[in-house]
Structure 1
Amino acid sequence: MELRQVRCFVAVAEELHFGRAAERLLLGQPAVSQHIRRLERELGVELFDRSPRHVRLTAAGELFLPGARKILAAEEEARAAVAALAGPGEGRAGVFRLGTVTGLGPRLDRILDAYEQHAPGVRVELVSLPVKERLARLVGDRLHAAFVRAAVPDDDPELRFIPLWEEELLVALPARHPLAAGDPPALADLAGLPLRLTDRRTNPALVDLVVNACHEAGFEPVPAPAASTMHDTLAAVGAGAPTWTVVYAANAAMTSVPRVVFRRLRDRVLTLPTSLAVRRSRAVPRVLLAACRGDRT
């Protein structure tokens, strides 16, 4: 039994929704489902009653939940006790607080695996916040590093931004819509469909990229409500009147929504640069940077 499996079980048990649990854990939904299935095989019981309409704990799941919470609480207590002996640095006991962004996909697993292997005394605490709050916490020394999307200043007196990769965005369409099949659509082909986008405060770089691209294609996007989670937004795209949204390619590769199709555009590629922000007064986190770049530490 692995702690990651127990964390996934507790998240799903509390959310009673695999999509919301996956977003809470910053994992893909297939990864969460896989961890739960492995835990069930390890225990020899089914922990959840799954149906298309609901997720419920089985009797075995109800019995296991209090013990699972105690396991995570014991891990937290043990780490806190050891962390008091040393500061939160790589290779020493402590907590490394990392500001995250959506769409990290397999990269996040690679980061967590790298810390387990090369800095086992460090617990990575993932913090998901709007970008302004993320950077404010970094400047205030309440985060040790943070991912940031879009162009960033190179003359910030407090922060250093290290370029990492370009993140591609795909268009998500209802599977039943004519644009979901055949030749890839052009962006202008979507002009008649309402667009479901997150609030700009949450992700200004993504919203500005998509809206500006629509303007360049000759139309003003018609806004449609976006849900609080990616999974629920995709569920809304797949049901009711046709709408569309955008999804990071890494998330799309780990997401299966039967009523939704992910497509590249024929006439343009939508990408956002991702950087790692760190304080200039701190050393660059070696394990994190190597994991992000796919290097050997």
Structure 2
Amino acid sequence: MELRQLRCFVVVAEERGFGRAAERLNIVQSAVSQQIRVLERGLGVVLFDRSSRRVGLTAAGERLLPEARAVLAAADRAREVAAGIRAGTEGVLRLGTVQVPGDRIYRALTAFAALAPRLRVRLTKLPPAERLAAVRAGGLDAVLVRALPPGRAADLDTVPVWTDPLYAALPAAHPLADEPQLRLEQLAALPLRLAPHEHNPPFHALITHALRAAGAEPPPAPPFTSLQATLAEIGVGPPSWTVFYEVSGLPPAPGVVFRKLTGLTVTTSLAFPSGPPSPAVRHLLRAFGEGTTEQTQTVPHPARAR
């Protein structure tokens, strides 16, 4: 059974004649008759009563007519959906996410829904390296990644969507705790708790490159594990410090103070396959531009990461 056979069936039924149906379909009458014969053989029933001068439906034809119309309507709807997917107004956009301060993502998704109300967003949380691998492999359409340095996304385009300050957490009894803000070089002698490179390569690279640029080489300390556990060890253990970005407010930590690091920020970017962004990703870029806060730094065109 083919759609063209069903269409011929419906048109012949509506026009009550093969000749008028052929005119409406803009094909020859013999082709219409052939399509109907093939359909009848395939279904094993006779659809039209050809005994009179006027073609009429058999009982089987009357029963099958609404089903044929439903199939054709579904096919037309499928074509409309496919056209919407090509235009970026229908379908599913698969987005790899990060945890961010406040309701930035929710505001961006609200703006996205207003731009493309029939396009759904499916959020996926993965570690940074897996997130990038997924978008490269086609499993995700776009991903949010923090601290993505040049050279780490050679086959992706990236657009910064917001920038956040970085904070140092250090013992409240340390002399540097009296400073309102800190520079990296001031912390050069204090052991640094930093997560291993493999746990978050982009952020690890951001901090180590910034320390190198500042001429600071803090002694190593036990690695950063979780924020809560690391802050507890800083508060009661030997003097050390760590660096982090705010996700859900600065946590309470007895014996620890938080100081903003001067001149050091972390940027969250939207990464997607290199080349012109798809219509859906263009909607997403616009939504992040409209839905983020004053901390957001939007870029009008994607920048190829080298």
Name the TM-score class by shorter chain. 0.5 to 0.7
- Secondary structure of 2:204's partner? helix
Give the distance between the partners of 2:227 and 2:109, measured in 1 at CA.
Answer: 22
Matches within 5 A, 1:93-172: 94=92, 96-103=93-100, 105-114=102-111, 119=117, 122-131=120-129, 133-148=130-145, 149-152=147-150, 156=154, 158-172=155-169
Answering whether residue 192 of structure 2 is matched by residue 198 of structure 1, we say no
| Whole-Å separation in 1 of the counterparts to 2:282 and 2:252 | 37
Which residue number in structure 2 is paired with residue 173 of structure 1?
170
* CA drift at 1:138: 0.5
Q: Which blocks of at least 5 consecutive residues in structure 2 are unaligned?
A: 1-80, 293-306
Determine which structure has more spread, i.e. the larger CA radius of gyration: 2
CA distance in 1, matches of 2:157, 2:210: 29
Which amino acid is 1:257 matched to? P
Match of 2:19 in 1: none
**Identity between Structure 1 and Structure 2 (%):** 36
Other-structure match for 1:222: 219
For residues 158-204 of structure 1, give each alpha carbon's deviation from its aligned partner in whole angstroms, at most 9, with x where no partner exists.
Answer: 43222333332121223343322244333233233221112212323
Q: Could you tell me which amino acid in structure 2 is paired with residue 235 of structure 1?
A: A
Cα distance in structure 2, aligned partners of 1:152 and 1:125: 25
Q: Secondary structure at the match of 1:165?
A: strand
207-216 vs 138-147, greater mean Cα deviation? 207-216
Q: Distance in 1 between matches of 2:231 and 2:110?
A: 29
Match of 1:201, SS state, is helix
Distance across 1 between alignment mates of 2:226 and 2:134: 23
Cα separation, 1, equivalents of 2:194 and 2:152: 29
CA change 1:179–1:275 in 2 (3 A) is same
Following superposition of structure 1 onto structure 2, how do residues 35-114 of structure 1 map, counting pairs within 5 Å? 92=90, 94=92, 96-103=93-100, 105-114=102-111
Give the drift of 1:221.
2.0
Correspondence for 1:254 among 249, 255, 260: 249
Give me the CA root mean square deviation. Answer: 3.5
Deviations along 1:194-252, whole A, 9 cap, x unmatched? 2111221232332223223333444422222334433333333333222211112x42x
Tell me what 2:290 maps to.
294
The whole-number CA distance in structure 1 between the counterparts of 2:222 and 2:152 is 35
Verify the 8 A CA contact 1:99 1:129 in the aligned structure 2.
no
Contact 1:211 1:221 in 2 (8 A): no
Give TM-score, length-normalised by structure 2: 0.55
How far residue 141 of structure 1 moved from its aligned partner, in angstroms, is: 0.8
Kindly provide the amino acid, as one letter, of the partner of residue 271 in structure 1.
T
Letter in 1 for 2:268: T
Which whole-Å CA distance do the structure 1 matches of 2:158 and 2:96 have between them? 13
